[in-house]
């Protein structure tokens, strides 16, 4: 067979996944990455013994990663070692008011029972439904390319869609089972990963609670970037040629056929098929001639983006007390902060935040006796991003962090780097400086998401967190698989998938 040359743009999870799946199908694959290292939003950087994961820190849905490597006859353990965290994470409601979420289900139920009588039994019922949603959702629905409603038009699947509470909000769903505000916040937390609040996320996504409570929170030893390292090793084993510092400036299209990419350097690379794993808006509005764009600027402006974030990477010259590996600071009301993200975009007055201290689990990510800390404040996309605002918010959350955990932190900082909107734009061409792509609201689910294929150019595809199935590491891995399958099908390439 005439070997097809596929050019993949971007070495994030989705780009690496699609490239490796396509190489497995005997395509010649060239992967082009603008930055000097792989991983996109999941890159890492190092500073004098500190190793910082730049983006994702929660490893959920271990079966999705296992499935990924199994496609190639491999196992996760061939590439990195996983630890199950226990407690999974801590939720901090205020001073001396903290829940450590046990990994063990029976202990977790006992904890809920102490907060609300009957909540343990209710959790069983809640999880029974959530498990069903997870099984159908993650092993079937998310793997649909969502190019046509017909994909969902089987009686069994339609019944599933109804059973899976697609039309009810997560917020209402949780309140059917639990009354305590504390438990409700706990149960609503996982959907924040999907880029909206529980009021606007379909109850289908209680599957995230199943992932959280039943499947657990894991951590790859030496950091999340180990997943990227493993994926790059596998991609190269399969023959993918990866080029760094290779920014694509244009996808050249002639008579409705994508012919080649032109790099910033001027070099041109011919292609039979192009898969764009860079931010969808950037590709659609900046890399292709406007006549071939899938969507208008108005369309993009109306999308509900998942939040951007203000991040801090900190090196601390002592061991910290009263902090776990993952710490969610819910010591302020979520409502006003959510309004400041979604309804009236502005810097929030009293932000909620997340602190990760991976060196509590893993001594390799900080020098001996020191701590590696990552702070994250979710923010509306496209806010004014200045050094003054970053500093102001650093001190707002540090005041609370130091008070609640009862220790001085600021005077022990030996390394500090901030990261926000302007960096997301510069490093990833992120539309409005988004961190996590598009929110998984009902009107942005499945066929209502930006399509994974260009409507006018038969050999141009999109993958990643702005198309199906959505934001997050597991969905991005699946997105790469789904798009590779479509390429193979549409272009009559070999059919091993």
Ligand X SMILES: Cc1cc2nc3c(=O)[nH]c(=O)nc-3n(C[C@H](O)[C@H](O)[C@H](O)COP(=O)(O)OP(=O)(O)OC[C@H]3O[C@@H](n4cnc5c(N)ncnc54)[C@H](O)[C@@H]3O)c2cc1C
* DSSP letter (8 states) at residue 19: H
Cβ neighbours of residue 127 closer than 8 Å, sequence gap 6 or more: 209, 210, 213, 214
Position among 23, 32, 141, 487 found at the interface with ligand X (CB under 6 A): 32
Name which position in 40, 120, 202, 433 contacts ligand X (CB under 6 A). Answer: 40
Q: Say how far apart CA 388 and CA 220 lie, in whole Å.
A: 35
User: Please, what is the minimum distance in Å from the beta carbon of residue 150 to ligand X?
Assistant: 26
The answer to whether the beta carbons of residues 405 and 321 sit under 8 Å apart is yes
Decide: is 375 part of the binding site for ligand X (CB under 6 A): no
Given the complex with ligand X, which of 310 and 366 has the nearer CB atom? 310
By the rule CB under 6 A, 377 interacts with ligand X = no
Residue 311 in contact with ligand X, rule: CB under 6 A: yes
What does the alpha-carbon distance between residue 415 and residue 251 come to, in Å, rounded to a whole number? 40
Residue 33 interacts with ligand X (CB under 6 A)? yes
x/- mask, ligand X, residues 321-360, rule CB under 6 A, reads ----------------------------------------
Chain centroid to Cα 265, Å, comes to: 31
The alpha-helical segments, DSSP class H, found in 210-351 are 225-237, 280-282, 297-302, 334-338
Binding mask 167-196 for ligand X (x = CB under 6 A): ------------------------------
Does position 219 bind ligand X by CB under 6 A?
A: no
- The nearest distance, CB 13 to ligand X, in angstroms, is 4
Q: Is 469 in the site for ligand X (CB under 6 A)?
A: no
Q: Is 11 in the site for ligand X (CB under 6 A)?
A: yes
Which part of the chain contacts ligand X (CB under 6 A), choosing from 99-107, 276-284, 313-321, 446-454? 276-284
Single residue of 6, 7, 8, 10 touching ligand X by CB under 6 A: 10
Residue 448 corresponds to which tokens in the numbers above?
A: 């209502």
* Residue 464 within binding range of ligand X, rule CB under 6 A: yes
Distance separating alpha carbons of residues 242 and 29, to the nearest angstrom? 9
Check residue 472 for interaction with ligand X (CB under 6 A).
Answer: yes
**Which residues neighbour 261 within 8 Å (Cβ) at sequence distance 6 or greater?**
7, 9, 32, 248, 250, 251, 252, 268, 269, 271, 274
Backbone angles phi, psi at 343, to 5 degrees: -95, -55
439 within 8 A of 195, measured Cβ to Cβ: yes
Report the interface residues with ligand X, using CB under 6 A.
9-15, 32-35, 40-42, 55-58, 247-248, 277-278, 282, 309, 311, 376, 428-429, 435-437, 464-465, 471-473, 476
């Amino acid at each position: 067979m005439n070997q097809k040359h596929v050019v993949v743009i971007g070495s994030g999870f989705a780009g690496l996944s699609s490239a490796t799946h396509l190489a497995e199908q005997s395509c010649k694959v060239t992967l082009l990455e603008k930055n000097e290292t792989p991983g996109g939003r999941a890159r890492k950087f190092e500073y004098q013994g500190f190793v910082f994961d730049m983006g994702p820190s929660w490893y959920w849905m271990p079966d999705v990663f296992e499935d990924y490597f199994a496609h190639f006859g491999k196992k996760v353990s061939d590439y990195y070692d996983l630890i199950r965290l226990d407690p999974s994470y801590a939720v901090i409601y205020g001073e001396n008011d903290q829940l450590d979420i046990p990994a063990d289900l029976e202990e977790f139920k006992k904890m809920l029972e102490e907060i609300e009588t009957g909540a343990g039994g209710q959790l069983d019922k809640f999880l029974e439904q959530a498990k069903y949603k997870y099984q159908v959702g993650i092993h079937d629905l998310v793997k649909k390319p969502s190019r046509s409603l017909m994909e969902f038009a089987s009686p069994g699947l339609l019944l599933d869609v109804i059973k899976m509470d697609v039309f009810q909000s997560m917020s209402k769903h949780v309140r059917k089972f639990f009354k305590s505000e504390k438990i409700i916040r706990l149960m609503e937390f996982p959907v924040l990963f999907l880029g909206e609040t529980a009021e606007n996320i379909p109850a289908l996504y209680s599957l995230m609670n199943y992932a959280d409570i039943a499947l657990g929170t894991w951590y790859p030893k030496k950091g999340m970037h180990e997943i990227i390292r493993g994926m790059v090793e596998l991609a190269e084993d399969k023959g993918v040629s990866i080029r760094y510092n290779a920014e694509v400036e244009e996808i050249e299209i002639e008579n409705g056929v994508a012919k080649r990419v032109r790099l910033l350097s001027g070099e041109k690379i011919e292609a039979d098929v192009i898969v764009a794993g860079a931010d969808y808006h950037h590709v659609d509005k900046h890399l292709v001639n406007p006549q071939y764009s899938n969507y208008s600027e108005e369309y993009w402006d109306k999308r509900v983006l998942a939040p951007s974030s203000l991040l801090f990477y900190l090196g601390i010259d002592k061991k910290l007390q009263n902090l776990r590996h993952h710490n969610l600071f819910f010591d302020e009301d979520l409502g006003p902060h959510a309004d400041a993200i979604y309804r009236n975009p502005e810097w929030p007055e009293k932000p909620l935040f997340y602190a990760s201290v991976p060196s509590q689990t893993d001594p390799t990510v900080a020098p001996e006796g020191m701590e590696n800390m990552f702070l994250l404040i979710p923010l509306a996309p496209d806010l004014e991003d200045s050094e003054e605002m970053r500093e102001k918010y650093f001190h707002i959350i540090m005041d609370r962090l130091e008070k609640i955990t009862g220790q001085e932190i600021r005077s022990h900082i030996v390394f500090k780097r901030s990261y926000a909107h302007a960096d997301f734009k510069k490093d990833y061409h992120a539309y409005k400086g988004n961190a996590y792509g598009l929110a998984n609201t009902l009107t942005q689910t499945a066929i209502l998401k930006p399509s994974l294929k260009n409507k006018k150019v038969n050999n141009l595809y999109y993958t990643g967190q702005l198309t199906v199935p959505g934001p997050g590491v597991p969905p991005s891995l699946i997105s790469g698989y789904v798009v590779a399958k479509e390429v193979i099908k549409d272009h009559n390439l070999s059919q091993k998938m």
